Amino acid sequence: MTGQSDQRQWRTDTDSLLWKLVSAIPDMLSTYWLSADGESHRFVFISEHVQSVLGIAPEVLRENAEAMFSAVHPEDLPGLKASIAESAIALGPWRRQARLRMKAGHYDWFEVNAMPERQADGSTVWYGQFHNIQRYKDLEHTLRERETESAFQADFQRLIANLSTKFINLGFGSIDQCITELLQAIGGFFEVDRAYLYEFSPDYNVMDNTHEWCSAGVPALIDSQRNVPIDGFEWWQCKVNEMLSGNRVIFVEEIEQIPAGPERTMLEQQGVCSMFCVPVRVRGLVTGFFGVDSMRKRAWREDQADFLIIVSGLLSGALERNRLESELLNQSIRDPLTALHNRRYLMPRLHEMLSRSIRYGEHFALAMFDLDRFKRINDSIGHLGGDLCLRTFAEILLEQTREADVVARFGGEEFVVAFSNVRPADIRLTVNRIICAVRNHKFVFEDQVVPLTVSAGVADIGELDVVPATPDPLIRLADDRLYAAKRAGRDCLVDASGVSRI
């Protein structure tokens, strides 16, 4: 938690050296999509900076990427397209330089660093970032002309360039490690005692310390600063509002300048003498703050906030990219109607279960469910009513199963639950409980009660003579038993012991 004891406005004018330093940092994040046949392409995401740098509206590129390629220098375009085609085949780290037409009409050299990823439909997505090479050259020229502070600024530039490269090349799921490394690097560079990242709840009533670095001998606070309510911190709430409304950097030069209250008491107990806090924005909204603490009285640089703003911008870009990748991944493995996992997620999990069964003898089983006479439901009350039944059944499955179980929509009105380390008798009990829950649930659509039952087939890995190389034999056995349940009159389950009806 940080605050501000004075009303100083930190310099962000476009003539300042630090502003040029900010501009020199790679600042155009992008996610480029190319269809499997190469006929369609667009930017799923591109930073808003593209408007001010190239004069191209982001919304245009989200519809079609052709405007970006039209901005490429004619001499560089064939090589760029060929490089993209090669990258789509190799699927390795991709780097390419080309000249792009700037908003003012001249061409500047850019370098693109990206990582391609093949999608299930055969299309390819590149996650990358644009570097303006000319801007770096301008920065180097400016630094050579300015001897005062040149060593410090050059060191900071190298630090940010190194951290930026790490974020560019970071693999999905490794952002936490990268943020921790950033906090450690920034904490050591500015010789502070603690560096941290907090996240706000959507209503800004709770703050959560998600990442923290502490210098040697300084106690960590992260465990005591998880999901902290701030409704009792009147002074701090005012500072949060300043971050939200004015994007203000909050600075406390001396803790004694904070009015007496719970915030000052807590900071004194933590041994904090002074601190900075910079808002972190994702998609234009303040989602949290990055801060540094000093446990001793010290003289801060007059431009300290400017440097921390650069760090906050780097964090903002990394968090936005991570959010986008998380959304894309979630969309690819979730059924949009029921929000359950889909087959794309289910099959790798079944392969993992098979592997553990072969290696460690771990037991698992599949239950396949099918809503009875579902076509009649769609025909009688329409597909919206059928969709309601599917979503409700998905909720029942989640209520009746464990978090460790894999629950997925297999297709249409068919669903699968994969149980691990559960006895066959317990699986039979759970499946019968699900069948009873559906039978007894009152499905209502537009004031019309919809009678609904479900049938199930259960197959256990121990029933097979050998553990198969793929899940297909087990799925086939569960499916056969599902249709045996249908032939037995529906609203029941069939497993190795036969028909079970409650």
Would you say residue 13 has pLDDT above 50?
no
Nearest CA to 94 out of 80, 104, 105, 108 is that of 80
> Which range has the worst mean pLDDT, 143-152, 175-184, 335-344, 474-483?
143-152
Q: What is the pLDDT of residues 327-370, one digit of tens each?
A: 666 677 888 899 899 998 899 999 999 998 888 888 899 999 99
Q: What is the pLDDT of residues 402-458, one digit of tens each?
A: 989 999 999 899 999 999 988 999 999 999 999 999 999 999 999 899 999 999 999
Q: What is the pLDDT of residues 368-386, one digit of tens each?
A: 999 999 999 999 999 999 9
Residue where the block lists tokens 């299309």: 123
Indicate whether this model's pTM tops 0.85: no
pLDDT of residue 12: 37
Q: What is the pLDDT of residues 189-199, one digit of tens each?
A: 999 999 999 99
Q: What is the pLDDT of residues 305-324, one digit of tens each?
A: 989 998 888 888 888 877 77
List own/partner pairs for 107-112 with CB under 8 A and 24 or more apart: 107/73, 108/132, 108/133, 108/134, 108/135, 109/133, 109/134
Distance CA 342, CA 409 (A): 5
Distance CA 275, CA 266 (A): 14
Residue where the block lists tokens 């996240």: 199
CB 349 within 8 A of CB 338: no
Query: Could you tell me the pLDDT band of residue 20, with boundaries at 50, 70 and 90?
Result: very low
pLDDT of residue 240: 92
pLDDT of residue 27: 62
pLDDT of residue 24: 44
